[in-house]
Copies of this chain bind each other. A is one copy, B any other.
């Protein structure tokens, strides 16, 4: 019985999927409970059998659909003989996971504007120990390649790289000349790698 999905659980999932898409497309206040119910093929009243309020719907969407479910395993699974190959491998995994969810960042922006980052702060404090462990491992594996940067700073800079790529992509790229987009990720990763690396003896691949 435990592996069967109950009827109620299926309904809950279809509500969350509908809410996820609508929030991303229309924002939080811009999406009504009625729209969510309609998209999930559930009556409005039935929606309140699963969630007490609109805010609870957003919370569930945020936590259960947050890309950290893919990002953390990506960082743990990434391998590489050098710092450079590790970083490129990890980023490849993370970005291809994120590309499955176009505009996922909108959930983060809604969270910041509408909920003053309450949920994301909560999420972050749960995840930071795991992240630190990964960073520590990377630092140990690349002692003579990394400049001395505190682990938390390295973590922040790594996420900052992802954020900065996405935000500049969103904000600048639509009307930007092609030079601005071509190889942009490559250049930004390069700047990050040169930025955290010692040299010599740590050689980065030339470009």
Contacts and interface: CB of A to CB of B under 8 A. Distances in A.
A160 interface: yes
Interface residues of A, number: 56
Copies in the complex: 2
A-B interface, 7 closest residue pairs, ranked by CB to CB distance from nearest:
A29-B29, A160-B164, A195-B195, A191-B195, A109-B109, A164-B164, A163-B167
A112 B195 contact: no
Interface of A: 26-30, 105-106, 108-110, 112-114, 117, 120-122, 124-125, 128, 147, 149-150, 152-153, 156-157, 159-161, 163-165, 167-168, 170-172, 174-177, 179-180, 184, 187-188, 190-197, 199
Nearest to A125: B175
A179 B153 CA distance: 8
Contacts of A196: 191, 194
B191 A179 contact: no
Contacts of A122: 175
A109 B180 CA distance: 22
B168 A160 contact: yes
